[in-house]
Structure 1
Amino acid sequence: ERPAEAEAEAEGRRPELVGAARDPPPEDGREGGDGEALHVAKRRKVLCSEFAAIAGSDAAVARRFLAGSDWHMERALNAYFESPLETEGAAVGAGSGSCIDLTADATTSNAGVNSADPGQKEDDSSFSLITWNIDGLDIGNLKERARGVCRYLALYNPDVVFLQEVIPPHLCLLQMKAGSYTIIPGNMDEYFTVIMLKKSRVKVLKHEIIPFPTTAMKRNLLVVHVNISGNELCLMTSHLESTKNHSKERTKQLQIVLDRMQKESESTTVIFGGDTNLRDSEVAKLGDLPKNVMDIWEFLGKPQHCRYTWDTQSNTNLNAAYKCKMRFDRVYFRPAAEGGNIIPRSMDLIGLEKLDCGRFPSDHWGVLCNFDVIL
């Protein structure tokens, strides 16, 4: 969404990235004494642990890439993930010709990146979801930004991913890098949506694409039925019609989404997430959401740290002359009738740090949602 005029809402504080390892300033190796040398050694040990957790490598591989990148975390990860397949395969013990998987063995928590344990059993008591418009229509720094998105997916290791503004090169990258996910596109031409489902957690039952009959922008609704931890879910994503001038069409599309959410079986939990481009006034015109459908951000008490997902004041990708803060990216939830098996727990924003190219992965922040599963 790139409106032609500012549509400022109330100020909201900018959140900090939760769970991401912070990069220290590069070290020049000129330590001035034993105390400083000990501090540097400890800091480098921590960096090695963080690198190993993200990359799924051992400490020796981590130290090699970090040392070769002047102990700069992002550059080291770039070098690791972009090195030849044979080198990476040998480094992580993969067989010859195996798929490079950015998402393998990377686990996180709100406290930081945990140590990877390849034999660790999946936690059936929760699951995570990311929805993100990754701005494939912006060709500037496209490769760097696409790799940045992949690194965030590797870092957070979500069970479910909704992506919008995906372009064919993105899809090829995801298919090559994210081998532990089932990848379902909503189209294959120009730009489209994608749902990614972690194979070890999510059993895919069926999927369908529901066209929006009067769209001028080739928008649709991608629907996937799955089973997670013994619970049936209907997962939906869309990129609703863009710009203020298309408010009427966007509202019609929202009504189609809400109708479909309500028509799903009462035994099924329904989650919709995506770039809705919605203004609160447009939802109000429909008479607000149905009683059995909740806006997760509102359900969690309207936390200000994740209110604005499209913020031209904090996000400089567009170099916009106007400053505008909007909650375009939303997640809706309709619980199963017997209720209580799946409960939204938290929401945070991701993608808040600039890449080495000086730009953010997207002009939108990503939205990370965590859910509790009552077993």
Structure 2
Amino acid sequence: MYSEHLTQILQTQTFKKNTVQLFKMFFFIMHLKYFFFAVAVASLCSENTRKTKEDDELSLITWNVDGIDDEDQPERARSLCSYLTSYAADVVLLQEIVQWSLIRSRVLILTGGETGYFTMMLLKKTRLTLLDSEIVSFPNTHQGRSLLVAQVLFRGQKLCLMTSHFESCKANSTERMRQLKKMMERMSEAPDDVTVLFGGDTNLRDYEVTAVGIPSSVCDLWEQLGEPEKCRYTWDTGANHNNEIAFKCRFRFDRVYLRRACEDRVPRLNPHSMALIGLEELRCGRFTSDHWGIYCMFSVE
């Protein structure tokens, strides 16, 4: 089962090279150092899973799954798999994934760097076609952060998918804003016939976004959908007690940005819903992650 193997991603503590078999691997050489690119092209539901989407809709999940927290990992990993198979999103963007293994022969997993945790994309093969992929380095990062980019086709429409885990902690504001600026530049520079979607854990504070500025061609999905209060905070230590923090704070760290294709006669991708996931407390008394996940639906017009 897909979920049984994906559970191993969060549960595995030691990577044993002699137990892993890769069908394909591509190496990207940057600054004379090998970086392994994490993109998994997967079917998130079994063949008999009910079809939940119309042809003119695209679904996306972005979620920092807090894989570096090893407490109650087996139950949390099973919960993550349950969410992914239940929602069966076309695009899944994950952050803080740890040690990995081969999910199944139909899936290719390559890690994004040699650090202890990284980002990952899961693309439903029956809905999207992977054309190209790359990892864009953040040269000044001190936490091994980068931008993961994939070029895909969805119903004949060109999409550029991006995810990242921006620099953490308030003290790293300057570097985080540099990373936001670079990501926005990549979104703005995409060809006019390409729709660009970014989802990830940005660690951004609102004043940092204001300082950098968002291009007029790019929209924040939460703002575009009317700033729904129930989706405002994705990291909330008052509602989520996975992290035992003495003080209570909440932020909209996890964000989704959209730059629509602007060329004539190219279909437009429009957001029509957003919801937080992972809100249910598990039997262990904790949540799937210290972040809530974001589930979005888009229509093609």
Selected match of 1:137 from 68, 71, 74: 68
Post-superposition offset of 1:123: 2.8
Selected match of 2:224 from 296, 299, 315: 299
Look up the equivalent residue of 2:103 and give its one-letter code: M
Considering only CA atoms, is the larger Rg found in Structure 1 or Structure 2? 1
CA distance in 2, matches of 1:245, 1:271: 28
Report the 3-state secondary structure (helix = DSSP H, G, I; strand = E; otherwise coil) of the residue aligned with 1:203: strand
Q: Which residue of 1 aligns with 2:294?
A: 367
Q: Return the TM-score normalized by structure 1.
A: 0.66
Structure 1 residues 53-202: aligned runs within 5 Å: 103-105=45-47, 116-117=49-50, 123-168=54-99, 171-172=100-101, 175-176=102-103, 183=109, 185-202=111-128
Q: Which residue of 2 aligns with 1:345?
A: 272
Q: Is the 8 A contact 1:134 1:165 kept in 2?
A: yes
Q: Which residue of 2 aligns with 1:310?
A: 235
How many pairs are equivalent?
A: 263
Deviations 1:258-293 (A, max 9, x none): 00101111100000110000000001111x211000
CA distance in 2, matches of 1:357, 1:185: 29
Post-superposition offset of 1:335: 0.3
CA distance in 2, matches of 1:213, 1:315: 33
Q: Is the 8 A contact 1:276 1:329 kept in 2?
A: yes
Report the 3-state secondary structure (helix = DSSP H, G, I; strand = E; otherwise coil) of the residue aligned with 1:362: coil
CA distance in 1, matches of 2:107, 2:257: 23
Report the 3-state secondary structure (helix = DSSP H, G, I; strand = E; otherwise coil) of the residue aligned with 1:176: coil
More deviation in 197-206 or 335-344?
A: 335-344
Aligned-pair identity (%) = 48
CA distance in 2, matches of 1:156, 1:104: 12
Deviations 1:27-77 (A, max 9, x none): xxxxxxxxxxxxxxxxxxxxxxxxxxxx99xxxxxxxxxxxxxxxxxxxx9
Report the 3-state secondary structure (helix = DSSP H, G, I; strand = E; otherwise coil) of the residue aligned with 2:132: strand
User: Please, what is the CA RMSD of the aligned residues?
Assistant: 2.4
CA distance in 1, matches of 2:294, 2:242: 18
CA distance in 2, matches of 1:139, 1:342: 38
Q: Return the TM-score normalized by structure 2.
A: 0.82
Report the 3-state secondary structure (helix = DSSP H, G, I; strand = E; otherwise coil) of the residue aligned with 1:123: coil
Taking a change above 3 Å as real, the CA distance of residues 360 and 144 of structure 1, as seen in their structure-2 partners, is: same
Deviations 1:90-135 (A, max 9, x none): xxxxxxxxxxx862257xxxxxxxxx44xx6963210100000000
Post-superposition offset of 1:341: 1.8
Selected match of 1:225 from 151, 155, 169: 151
Q: Is the 8 A contact 2:63 2:94 kept in 1?
A: yes
CA distance in 2, matches of 1:317, 1:155: 23
Where structure 1 has 5 or more consecutive residues not aligned to the other structure, the ranges are 1-54, 57-76, 83-100, 107-115
Look up the equivalent residue of 2:197 and give its one-letter code: I
Of Structure 1 and Structure 2, which has the larger fraction of its residues in strand?
2
Taking a change above 3 Å as real, the CA distance of residues 102 and 161 of structure 1, as seen in their structure-2 partners, is: closer
Deviations 1:231-278 (A, max 9, x none): 100000000000000000000000000001011111000001100000
Q: Is the 8 A contact 1:250 1:278 kept in 2?
A: yes
